[in-house]
Amino acid sequence: MKELLRTLVDLPGPCGFEQPVIKYLYERLAPIADEIRVNGLGDLIVVKKGAFEGPTLAVSAHSDEVGMIVKKIESSGLIRFEKLGGGDDRMYLSERVFVNSENGQHPGVIGLISAHMTKFDDAKLVRDHRKLYIDVGATDGDEVRAMGIRVGDCITWASSLSDAGSHRVFGHAFDDRAGCCALAWALEHVDFSKVHGTVIGIFSTQEEVGLRGARAAANSLHPDVALAIDTTAVSDTPEPMMDKTLSLGDGAGIKIMDFSLIAAKKVWKFLEQLAEEQNIPHQMEVFLGIGTDGGTLHMDVEGGVPTGVISIPTRYAHSSVEMMDWGDFEASEKLLEAFMLGMRSKEQFAFI
């Protein structure tokens, strides 16, 4: 599973530029799918039918990552950029990036003033990202264009997946290629001759700019029950706002509430029951700082859908070096498989 995650992380795909990720997953999952298609917004929809009657479950993992986009090529050869998805202006300085143009990936660095210059600067100043620039090593704008770089090219973090210690990994885009990896793995490895109902996997687009892909998918699918599988932010480092309610290494997160969703009680209770029965390490999540595809899946226009979320704990979200505990990741994937195999009827998720 780690090799699949590494492959998914290395594919560039910020919001609106998910084509390489969607194409890879389409080609990988087509042989095992009962139905597979890509909708107008780019969401990959993969249907797997179980052997028995049962509910239709939609599971969404978002294929996009946060990134940037080329806004202007200066005559100096430096590149101005805009954000694709949310990123704190403090996290850009001195980062290595790839500018993804039609003819390939061009390494660059987001410039940081030399240490020798800082005494002439305001040390507390956080520069707006629009004042920052990417240096790809060109002497002027013509050289940048000759490299093949154009306004509108997307920009991604240049880090790959690395092991950290004996049981953790770091790298970029775990949010939410980790969810994509778990969903693809579950679709490939669950024994559907034992499944009651149908599973619709959604690899959604444009989550990081407002759950846009999942909305397009949800409004055409109308499942009986829905899950999102996405990363969440743990609160176990020493900063003052960290309340230690979620910790790296404490297992899969079962969401009860975030700013986009109050999870359906019968869905999160069922996830908790499965985790307890199958000894899957888990932690319950009430965290208002995050939203997921679940926020749009549950508001399906034809009457709403009972929805829950499996959260994969991470540190340093949206940066070039997110960190994840491999045990948490395996627990999250196992819990997703348990849900697919354990569901029996749409009535089990009824509100009353």
Please return the burial class of 248, using the count of CB atoms within 10 Å of its CB with bins 0-12, 13-18 and 19+. middle
Q: Which two structure tokens, joined as six digits, stand for 302?
A: 């034809």
Q: Which two structure tokens, joined as six digits, stand for 259?
A: 């700013």
Q: Which residues contact 195 (CB under 8 A, 6 or more apart)?
A: 48, 50, 51, 52, 54, 340, 341
Catalytic residue from among 207, 208, 285, 337: 207
Check if 207 is active-site: yes
Report, in Å, the least distance between residue 204 CB and Zn ion. Answer: 10
Distance of CA 251 to the CA centre of its chain: 18
Angstrom CA distances, 186 to 90, 162, 290, stand at 36, 23, 25
Give the nearer residue to Zn ion in terms of CB position, either 230 or 328. Answer: 230
Q: Is 175 in the site for Zn ion (CB under 5 A)?
A: yes
Site size toward Zn ion (CB under 5 A) is: 3
Window contacting Zn ion (CB under 5 A); options: 51-59, 171-179, 187-195, 297-305: 171-179
Binding mask 176-195 for Zn ion (x = CB under 5 A): x-------------------
Binding mask 193-232 for Zn ion (x = CB under 5 A): -------------------------------------x--
Q: Is 285 in the site for Zn ion (CB under 5 A)?
A: no
Report, in Å, the least distance between residue 174 CB and Zn ion. Answer: 9
Give the nearer residue to Zn ion in terms of CB position, either 95 or 175. Answer: 175
Phi and psi based region of residue 42 (left: phi greater than 0; alpha: psi -120 to 50; beta: remaining): left
Give the nearer residue to Zn ion in terms of CB position, either 164 or 209. Answer: 209
Quick check: 335 and 289 in contact, CB under 8 A?
A: no
Alpha carbons 314 and 156: distance in angstroms, whole number: 19
Report, in Å, the least distance between residue 179 CB and Zn ion. Answer: 7
Report, in Å, the least distance between residue 324 CB and Zn ion. Answer: 13
Q: What amino acid positions are annotated as catalytic residues? A: 207
Which residues bind to Zn ion, rule: CB under 5 A?
Answer: 175-176, 230
